[in-house]
Amino acid sequence: MSSTNKVGFIGLGLIGGSIAKAIRKYYPDYEIIAYDKNRETLALAVQEGIIHTSCSSIDDNFRGCLYIFLCAPVSCNTAYLAQLKDLVSDGCILTDVGSVKSSIHEEIKALDMEEYFIGGHPMAGSEKSGFANAKAHLIENAYYILTPSEKAPSEKVDAYRDFVSSLKALPVILDYKEHDCITGTISHLPHIIASTLVNYVREHDTKDELMKALAAGGFKDITRIASSSPVMWQQICLKNRENISQILEDYIDLLRQAKTYVDSGDEDRLYSMFETSRDYRDSMPNSSAGPIKKQFAFYCDIIDEAGGIATIATILASNHINIKNVGIIHNREFEEGALKIEFYDEVSSAKAAELLQKYHYIVYGT
pLDDT for position 304: 60
- Nearby residues of 292 by Cβ (< 8 Å), 6 or more positions away: 125, 187, 190, 225
- Strand 363-364 vs strand 339-343: parallel, antiparallel, or unpaired? unpaired
What amino acid is encoded at 73 in this protein?
Answer: P
Cβ atoms of residues 326 and 339 within 8 Å: yes
pLDDT for position 259: 98
Query: Per-residue pLDDT averaged across 67-79, rounded?
Result: 87
End-to-end CA distance of the chain: 49
CB atoms closer than 10 angstroms to residue 20: 26
**Residue 6 binned pLDDT confidence (cut-offs 50, 70, 90):** very high
The helix-helix angle for 230-239 and 189-204 (nearest 10°) equals 120
Instruction: Please give the model's pTM, rounded to 2 decimal places.
Output: 0.74
CA distance 319 to 340: 19
What amino acid is encoded at 317 in this protein?
Answer: A
CA distance 144 to 165: 9
Report the SS3 class of residue 213: helix
Range in 112-121, 208-217, 305-314, 343-352 with the lowest mean pLDDT:
305-314
How do residues 100-127 score in pLDDT, each as one tens digit? 999 999 999 999 999 999 999 998 866 5
How do residues 151-200 score in pLDDT, each as one tens digit? 999 999 999 999 999 999 999 999 999 999 999 999 999 999 999 999 99
Cα dihedral 325, 328, 332, 337, rounded to 10, equals 60
pLDDT for position 291: 60
